[in-house]
Amino acid sequence: MANNEVLAIITARGGSKRLPKKNLRKLGGHSLLSRTIEASINAKSVNKTVLSTDCSEIAKEALKHGCDVPFIRPPELATDEASSEDVMLHAIDNLPTFEWVLLLQPTSPFRTSEDIDLAFKLVKRLNRNSCVGVTSLKSHTNPAEKYLFAGDVFIPHNQKVESFKRKQKGSFILNGAIYLIKTSLFLHTKKIVDADTAGIHMSEKKSLDIDTFKDLRLAAKFMEV
């Protein structure tokens, strides 16, 4: 694998209203941030792992666990209004060029290095330019967020595509655990997901996105299983 093939960007801003300091919260004795760093560093497909944060405390935790912190994110990219795409563009602009960029959020602590490597293998096998983690749709999910899934490819549910007439179709949702995209495509579209994106199906546990105290309690229960 080329040295500049896959860049992993872990995004962790300091401000979090519903669950204060959520990225530093402990789960099984380890912070959510350190769990994501470990998954990224141990993934065979990842060549470099960096942190994008505006918080010195989070930066210190990342450095302690072997993650590079090449810059501090500017305040305008650490607000509720700043998008993941904006944060990725800032990181790419401040780092050497990599063929692929991987976005990882600490709030998905059960995503593993094996999951990351499977996503990379999937885009290679299907000759796709992007891949995201998906999970089975829950009944309470906003219908606007639904995606139809056929084989390994998924798109918004209201888009008509012939391939969705095949038998293996169902409703899936983005889980936020893995966003992998070819850098050149991302710089061109400024989007992480399009109609050609592959979806790697992940379990309910691996798809847990911790954003509230309730989510953290559920994660603790998963640890007991």
For 176, phi then psi, to 5°, come to: 80, 0
Does residue 157 carry a pLDDT above 70?
Answer: no
Q: Which domain holds residue 108?
A: 6-224
CATH classification of the domain holding 154: 3.90.550.10
Q: Give the lowest-confidence range in 42-46, 78-82, 90-94, 216-220.
A: 78-82
Q: How far is CA 84 from the centre of its chain?
A: 10
For 116, phi then psi, to 5°, come to: -60, -45
Give the side-chain half-sphere CA count within 13 A for 187. Answer: 12
Average pLDDT over all residues of the chain? 86
Number of domains in the chain: 1
Residue 28 CA to residue 107 CA, distance in Å, equals 14
Give 197's pLDDT tier (boundaries 50, 70, 90).
confident
Q: What is the pLDDT of residue 138?
A: 64
Which tokens hold the place of 167? Answer: 């038998």
Does residue 89 carry a pLDDT above 70?
Answer: yes
Q: What is the pLDDT of residue 168?
A: 43
pLDDT tens-digit series, residues 37-57 = 999 999 999 999 999 999 999
In a domain, 1, yes or no: no
Could you tell me the pTM of the whole model?
Answer: 0.88
Give 153's pLDDT tier (boundaries 50, 70, 90).
low
The CA-CA-CA angle for residues 192, 126, 142, to 5°, reads 40
Q: What is the pLDDT of residue 214?
A: 93
In a domain, 202, yes or no: yes
- The residue that leads in pLDDT, 164 or 51, is 51
Count of H helices and E strands in the chain? 6, 10
> Which whole-number Å values give the CA distances from 139 to 35, 144, 171, 209, 215, in the listed order?
29, 13, 10, 17, 17
Q: What is the pLDDT of residue 173?
A: 78
Give 165's pLDDT tier (boundaries 50, 70, 90).
very low
Q: What is the pLDDT of residue 161?
A: 40
